[in-house]
Copies of this chain bind each other. A is one copy, B any other.
């Protein structure tokens, strides 16, 4: 177990879930708070869906489907197949066992639970001991600006498979949304803050857009470590490189470092991108080169250790 006392990690879905699993493997439950993007959340077929929270919870519970990258391993599609026969909307695939999570969340929210409370409940019932919290309990929704106009996030991301050219994204509700209580508490007492290798535009920026979060990170006494989601000029998974291309931004770790700017003190980049280290350092931050691809449980733990060691070293330098 790592010596870090209190670690706050900011995560989106899949890339976030992988590093979250690594952090949970090397930190005791009381020493880690995972704050998860909720700007992808939406109500579909009457159900409250929190895709990134579920990805992180399933990853921590070792129940995630690592092949398709979302949902529960070994799940089935009896409900969606029947819905297809009824001519219903099946563009957003709700697999059978995964549906139980959405049903429970929807019921508890209708009973008055906050998203934080229901996330804690589901975590407990999945046997997840580490703290997982939504970034906020207020409604925040990503709206994607594209060549086809403004699209609701899941319309862009799932229904249209990120095909429309990406101009930008706004986070409706974020300017008035307070971070969740667990997020506030973790910001206050964190000894290290880790930005997971999630999509900056879609998964991390909404977290940074909440009331006070960016300012808090900019002035944080705890080092902020980020793991680049880019490896060798491409995103490990998802549409990040395509989106960067459409924004005329080179798909490099350097571009990502420029995007987060002075907020990050330490960058972990992949060995494939070692040529960019000097340019990133010239932005005023430290850089370490490591393997950032996470395939095996050991990859995840080693990357988590590398991030925590990096934070500890930077903290020593600061003090």
A-side interface residues toward B, CB under 8 Å? 44-48, 72, 75-76, 78-83, 85-89, 94, 96-101, 103-104, 106-107, 110, 122, 125-126
Contacts and interface: CB of A to CB of B under 8 A. Distances in A.
Contacts of A96: 76, 78-79, 82, 96
Given A79-B103, A88-B103, 16 more contacts: A45-B107, A46-B47, A46-B107, A47-B103, A72-B82, A76-B76, A76-B96, A78-B96, A79-B96, A82-B97, A82-B101, A83-B104, A85-B100, A86-B100, A86-B122, A88-B100
A103 B122 contact: no
A100 B83 contact: yes
Contact of A46 (B75, B79, B80, B110): B110
Contacts of A86: 100-101, 104, 122, 125-126
Contacts of A122: 86
B100 A79 contact: yes
A72 B124 CA distance: 33
A176 to B, nearest CB: 25
A101 B83 CA distance: 7
Contacts of A83: 100, 103-104
Which 7 A/B pairs are nearest by Cβ-Cβ distance? A82-B100, A46-B106, A78-B96, A82-B97, A83-B100, A45-B103, A88-B104
A107 B79 contact: no
Contacts of A48: 46
A133 to B, nearest CB: 18
A75 B286 CA distance: 58
A72 B78 CA distance: 12
B88 A107 contact: yes
Contacts of A80: 100
Contacts of A44: 107
A138 to B, nearest CB: 20
Contacts of A100: 79-80, 82-83, 85-86, 88
15 contacts: A46-B103, A46-B107, A76-B78, A78-B78, A78-B97, A79-B79, A79-B99, A80-B100, A83-B104, A86-B104, A86-B126, A88-B100, A88-B104, A94-B103, A99-B99
Nearest to A84: B100
Given A86-B126, A125-B87, A45 B106 contact: yes
